[in-house]
Amino acid sequence: MPRTLQRLSALTVKTANRPGYYCDGGGLYLQVSKAGAKSWVFRYRRNGRARELGLGALLLTPLSTARKKAEAMRLTLGQGQEPVATREAARREAANRMTFSECATAYITAHRRGWSNPKHAEQWQSTLDTYAVPVFGPIDVSQVDTHQVIRALEPIWQAKTETASRLRGRIERILAWATTRGYRTGENPARWRGHLDTLLPKPGAIKDVAHHAALPYADAADFMATLAAEAGTAAKALRFAILTACRTNEVIGATWAEVDIASSVWAIPGHRMKAGKEHRVPLSRAALKLLAGLTPGQPTDYIFPGAKNGKPLSNMAMLNTLKRMERSDLTVHGFRSTFRDWAAEATSFPRELAEKALAHTVRSEVEAAYQRGDLLQKRREMMEHWAAHCAAS
């Protein structure tokens, strides 16, 4: 009795060179093209119609693999299903799948331009790569569940609470993106309220929120006198940051084109501001004197250039100046708190002036509606008083 399956030998498959079909049985054929290329096909009939389904090139699909694929096709037919339709459905399903890591990359790419801080994307990626990806990065995003999220968060929830809290929020946003895109369904396993808050202690209950170390405003003058004796661009940048009550990135990214000496105004464009809106800073006489002592460059040049040509000062440079002054107890951002405390406790300037000087977003919609201007002239008087306080002996 002739064999109905596995008719071809490995030698036949290797030596077959005449164009045509070589039957292995059970619908499996080795196809040799006119050009001599070899591939596997599965041939069958459905509703009186002859059909042919490719199973892969011989170079990538050995005989044993082709036979397993053909067996799967016969099983599909035996179940009354259409092999072509079944494979197309599988392909569509695979095309609609993404791993968590792939979704994270896509989310960061989509939002990168909307983040004002260029390093924000790096921070997102670094946090996810360190804590989330090792746990469920390669997993289909539709399969990420509460158990896996907890496995990523619990090891650092007590020791690195702030990092863990940020990680949870980032995972939640990525999973929400995946749901909107159709890659997963159901509730978000990383949501906090009514879900993870029943499994993890509240971040605030673990430890008090750590604020940036700030200099008491009464010590501002002595500190500024010591700082003035420090050499280097970073020390000057720190003095400028204190006099203007601005953030590190706002100061180190400043260019000469942003400063109008004639009107004593430094206009920081919106793309460099945390709130995304232009912020005008009235420059005190002390701030203008500091700028006058610098070497002016082209409009596009940085006011506080770094060591590398065309690059700004490092965002760690001012902090390193504090360390060099043996003031590791302070942070650059903390001087904004020093200014705010001074304005609230040592002056009669309205609260909104200090908030405007710090470029804080007004939280009250009613207050925002009546404060459409930036109160520049009123802030100018306050900044002169602040500079005088910093220079008092």
Is there a domain that residue 191 lies in? Answer: yes
d(CA 217, CA 390): 9
What's the pLDDT score for residue 95? 56
Mean pLDDT, the chain, integer: 87
Q: Per-residue pLDDT averaged across 291-313, rounded?
A: 90
Instruction: Judge whether 48 and 69 are in contact, CB under 8 Å.
Output: no
Q: pTM above the 0.85 mark?
A: no
What's the pLDDT score for residue 89? 58
Q: Looking at the structure, tell me whether residues 222 and 323 fall in a common domain.
A: yes
CATH at 141:
1.10.150.130
d(CA 203, CA 215): 27
d(CA 356, CA 337): 14
Confidence of residue 48 (pLDDT cuts 50, 70, 90): confident
Is there a domain that residue 211 lies in? Answer: no
Is there a domain that residue 5 lies in? Answer: no
Is there a domain that residue 4 lies in? Answer: no
Q: Per-residue pLDDT averaged across 149-168, rounded?
A: 90
Q: Looking at the structure, tell me whether residues 138 and 122 fall in a common domain.
A: yes
Tokens of 302: 């940085």
Q: Looking at the structure, tell me whether residues 138 and 254 fall in a common domain.
A: no
pLDDT at residue 290 above 90? Answer: yes
d(CA 282, CA 231): 26
Last residue of a domain, one of 206, 240, 274: 206
Last residue of a domain, one of 95, 121, 136: 95
pLDDT at residue 205 above 80? Answer: no
Confidence of residue 122 (pLDDT cuts 50, 70, 90): confident
Q: Per-residue pLDDT averaged across 101-116, rounded?
A: 87
Tokens of 360: 């804080």
Instruction: Judge whether 161 and 207 are in contact, CB under 8 Å.
Output: yes
What's the pLDDT score for residue 54? 85
Report the range of poorest mean pLDDT among 48-62, 246-260, 315-329, 379-393: 48-62
Q: How many domains does the chain have?
A: 3
What's the pLDDT score for residue 46? 79
Q: Looking at the structure, tell me whether residues 113 and 34 fall in a common domain.
A: no
Angle between the N-to-C axes of helices 233-244 and 220-228, in degrees from 0 to 180, rounded to the nearest 10: 150
What's the pLDDT score for residue 97? 81
pLDDT at residue 272 above 70? Answer: yes
Q: Looking at the structure, tell me whether residues 126 and 75 fall in a common domain.
A: no
d(CA 322, CA 311): 22
With a pLDDT cut of 70, the percent of the chain lying above it is 90
What's the pLDDT score for residue 329? 87
Domain hosting 328: range is 217-391
What's the pLDDT score for residue 366? 38
Confidence of residue 357 (pLDDT cuts 50, 70, 90): very high
Confidence of residue 368 (pLDDT cuts 50, 70, 90): very low
What's the pLDDT score for residue 3? 64
Q: Per-residue pLDDT averaged across 134-143, rounded?
A: 91
d(CA 157, CA 167): 10
pLDDT at residue 373 above 50? Answer: yes
Q: Looking at the structure, tell me whether residues 85 and 106 fall in a common domain.
A: no
What's the pLDDT score for residue 369? 41
pLDDT at residue 313 above 80? Answer: yes
